[in-house]
Structure 1
Amino acid sequence: MQLRRALGLRDAVVIGLGSMLGAGVFAVFAPAAAAAGTGLLVGLALAAVVAYANATSTAQLAAQLPTSGGAYAYGRTVLGPWWGYAAGWSFLVGKTASCAAMALTAATYLVPEPWQRPAAAAAVVVLVLVADRGVTRTALVASALLLVVLVVLGLVVSAGASAGAPGRLTGGPPTSVRGVLESAGLLFFAFAGYARVATLGEEVREPARVIPRAIQLALGGAVLVYLAVGLAVLTTIGPAGAAASASPLADVVDAAGWSWAVPVVGVGAGAASLGALLALVAGIGRTSLAMARAGDLPRGLARVDPAAHVPARAQRVLGLVVVTLVLTTDLTGAIGFSSFGVLTYYLVANLAAWRQEPEQRRRPRWLPALGVAGCAVLALTLPPSAVVAGAAVLLVGLLGRLVVVRRRAAGGPA
């Protein structure tokens, strides 16, 4: 059974923006400022360039192949099944860890410490139930959460404008090429959710027209928001203050004399985390669906609910895994290999776009080449432990597929 094309341009943009304006926008400026000092804005520009290259590759692939699965489907069709599997496996494992991290982050902002793990688990269950009701219901809840986030970020920018001083842009940690690249990597991972629209390609109306536009609009909007918030942070508390802050956006409103708004910023961060989590549930569910259809995951996960027209079984299995992680696991080191997985995912997408036939390309061929190079450079800025963990997880997945393929070839159970 196929999914139902129910999403229009506005819905697709909302889901993309909700993915990019997650917990990262509330926290990323501290480590980015610690890495680059005043070069943080240069890092943001570099991250935006790499993201634009990746987004254009994703958009033109989605126009050619408007189906579920994103880079998994593109890599499998254009490059071959092993490339697709590398992208899909990296996405599933990395983003499942991100789901657990988002749930815990939301609970950290919204409830007292003793209740955070149970609250995070409850949030996962509720959002999976929302996703099970249909993609239009997912888009509606994502719109409500995004509205809360945008209002809170507007409050932060207003506070910064009322108290900021351009002179505070000086000082802070020294700027270096390595530091700027590290900040670019951090910022890229914070708003690298634009491909979530492509994973829902089977549910978008007029996908060849809507998906490219939605990806470009969502990415452009997210970059503008990050730029406005970054300027508010740097001109209000300065690079040194941002680098030393545990909650830079809360510190901005506090430094502006708007201390009443500090709890409001916490609510915004919680809503952003929940919005990103909801988009991840939808994206992972569709990628699981595509992989199950092709036999790269158990085929039972390919079942589509006949009433809601969503991969409910895949989403529920994801919810069970994430709840288990939330209740039992320390996720401190999980984001490192999640970042590695994101880069692998986009690397495959860019390679697939580079291999497209000339009549299928909407942008020059050098853009996916730039995306490949950007992913490689940003990977070099990751901590070595993250690279090792990410490569190990990818290798385990590839070896698992090799075993399955050989068993199938020999006529055994797979």
Structure 2
Amino acid sequence: MGEEFTLKRELGLLEITLSGVGSILGAGIYVLIGKAAGLSGNALWLSFLFAAIAAGLTAISYMELSSMFPKAGAEYEYVRNAFGEFLGLLIGLLVVFVEIISSSTVALGFAGYFEVLFHTPAIPSAIALILLFTLILFVGIKQSARAAILMTFIEIIGLLVIISIGLPEMGSVDYLEVQSLSGIFEASALVFFAFLGFEEIVKLSQETKDPHRTTPRALMIAIATTILLYILVALAVVSVLDWRVLSTSSAPLAEVASVALGSNAFVILSLIALFSTANTVLLMQIGGSRILYGMAESGSLPSLISWVHPGTRTPWVSILVFTSLSIMFVFIGDIAIVANLTNFMVFIIFITINLSLIWLRYSKPDIERPFRIPFNIGRFPLSPLFGILCALLLFAHLSLEVIVYGFILLLVGVVAVFIRLKSQGNSRQVK
């Protein structure tokens, strides 16, 4: 059934750009900005700027790689073509880990807001949200993208409200007052989570019209838009509230709004945060199910996962697998720890992606590159090198606890890849 059908190209530049913006403007900015302010003080914007540079350098690598291999497998395809099946499958599984853990945790973040506003138990609300979006994903990618775009506009309105509140107070504090250089980089490592999501765009490549050109353009626009919004928000919040107060708040943006506009604003911003967290869950379910589909389509995972529904043209089996795993992980706790655990895996993924681009310039120079990174020394691209250095610097500022948990997950991934490739080899011998 599934082998006879493929995904349908229905998405244009506007749709995937807004999906990317919505994926980036997720739970991170609404929850983590207070914790980051406690580390960097009034220089919060510098932490966002450095995190933006680190993310942006790798996003440029994604632009060239996505134009070379416009496949739903995304990172898996890039690394497999550069370094072979073992490392490609490992990176693919790490991406799936990131999507599952993040979507489950953000679903709990949604449930927390929902509990405060409507007095409902958290865990059933989180599971209900995941199941609701699973139904939307079954219906079709066009409908899923439209739902994401609607919630993205709501997210942007919320951030514009915060920026407008802060504008009259701009200049009221010293934005270069640095608590410590280490604090700036620790905050950058934390808020790096808020920039994740641009890579979801490349996972829609097999459902995008003219992906060779559309995907790099969408990445560029999405990153530039969110960098501007984040830095303006960072300047606004420390202008309205003392960074020490922000650092103790569980709903920092809602608290900034309530200071300027009264208690009703707290409810309004909490509702916007509800849509923001929901949008993140939806887009992670889309991205996670697509990379599972892409890996199965390439033969690295069981072919059953690559089945596409003949009517809706959606990868229904991979959607079900991702949903089931997300519900299993819905009991994860502290969002700051999970954000940094996600960052641990993302830093490894981004370092490998940048290395893949550099290696492919030499190992496969003749592959068509509709988008090619500027600033090269001969074949050697400079931006991936700086992307690797930035990721290593932020990696060094993760806590020991996060690094230990991260390496355990990495080891699980290595064992899973080894078992999978060994079973594939045995099945080939039997045949």
TM-score (normalised: structure 2): 0.90
Give 2:413's aligned residue: 397
| SS of match in other structure, 1:310 | coil
Match of residue 128, structure 1, among 105, 109, 134 = 134
Is the counterpart of residue 406 in structure 1 residue 422 in structure 2?
Answer: yes
Of stretches 354-363 and 83-92 in structure 1, the one that deviates more from structure 2 is 354-363
1:111 CA drift (Å): 2.8
Q: Distance in 2 between matches of 1:336 and 1:363?
A: 31
Give 2:373's aligned residue: 362
Task: Give per-residue Cα distances to partners, 1:110-161, cap 9 Å, x unaligned.
Answer: 2345521111111000111111111111110001111111122222222222
Alignment of 1:112-261 (within 5 A): 112=116, 114-162=120-168, 164-169=169-174, 175-261=179-265
| SS of match in other structure, 1:167 | coil
C-alpha distance 380-155 of structure 1, shift in aligned 2 (>3 A): same
Alignment of 1:22-101 (within 5 A): 22-101=26-105
| SS of match in other structure, 2:173 | helix
C-alpha distance 194-109 of structure 1, shift in aligned 2 (>3 A): same
Q: Distance in 2 between matches of 1:264 and 1:309?
A: 37
Q: Distance in 2 between matches of 1:165 and 1:140?
A: 35
Of stretches 68-77 and 108-117 in structure 1, the one that deviates more from structure 2 is 108-117
Q: Distance in 1 between matches of 2:175 and 2:78?
A: 45
2:103 touches 2:284 (CA, 8 Å); kept in 1? yes
1:54 touches 1:350 (CA, 8 Å); kept in 2? yes
Q: Distance in 2 between matches of 1:231 and 1:335?
A: 22
Match of residue 385, structure 1, among 401, 413, 428 = 401
1:46 touches 1:184 (CA, 8 Å); kept in 2? yes
1:329 CA drift (Å): 4.8
1:257 CA drift (Å): 3.8
1:102 CA drift (Å): 1.1
2:305 touches 2:318 (CA, 8 Å); kept in 1? yes
Q: Distance in 2 between matches of 1:329 and 1:217?
A: 33
C-alpha root-mean-square deviation of aligned residues, in Å? 2.0
Q: Distance in 2 between matches of 1:321 and 1:71?
A: 20
Of stretches 52-61 and 347-356 in structure 1, the one that deviates more from structure 2 is 347-356
Structure 1 portions without partners, runs of 5+: none
1:217 CA drift (Å): 0.4
Task: Give per-residue Cα distances to partners, 1:258-311, cap 9 Å, x unaligned.
Answer: 332110110111111111111101100111011212333222111111222221
| SS of match in other structure, 2:254 | helix
Amino acid at match of 2:33: F
| SS of match in other structure, 1:394 | helix
Give 2:390's aligned residue: 374
1:331 CA drift (Å): 5.9
1:79 CA drift (Å): 2.2
1:165 CA drift (Å): 4.9
Q: Distance in 2 between matches of 1:217 and 1:276?
A: 19
Of stretches 340-349 and 55-64 in structure 1, the one that deviates more from structure 2 is 340-349
Question: How many residues align structurally?
Answer: 411
Q: Distance in 2 between matches of 1:367 and 1:170?
A: 28
1:330 CA drift (Å): 4.1
Amino acid at match of 1:132: F
Q: Distance in 2 between matches of 1:410 and 1:395?
A: 23
Amino acid at match of 1:390: G
1:86 CA drift (Å): 2.3
TM-score (normalised: structure 1): 0.94
1:318 CA drift (Å): 1.2
Match of residue 303, structure 1, among 300, 307, 311 = 307
C-alpha distance 146-410 of structure 1, shift in aligned 2 (>3 A): closer
2:189 touches 2:340 (CA, 8 Å); kept in 1? no
Is the counterpart of residue 294 in structure 1 residue 305 in structure 2?
Answer: no
1:246 CA drift (Å): 2.2
Amino acid at match of 2:158: V
C-alpha distance 38-308 of structure 1, shift in aligned 2 (>3 A): same
1:168 touches 1:236 (CA, 8 Å); kept in 2? no
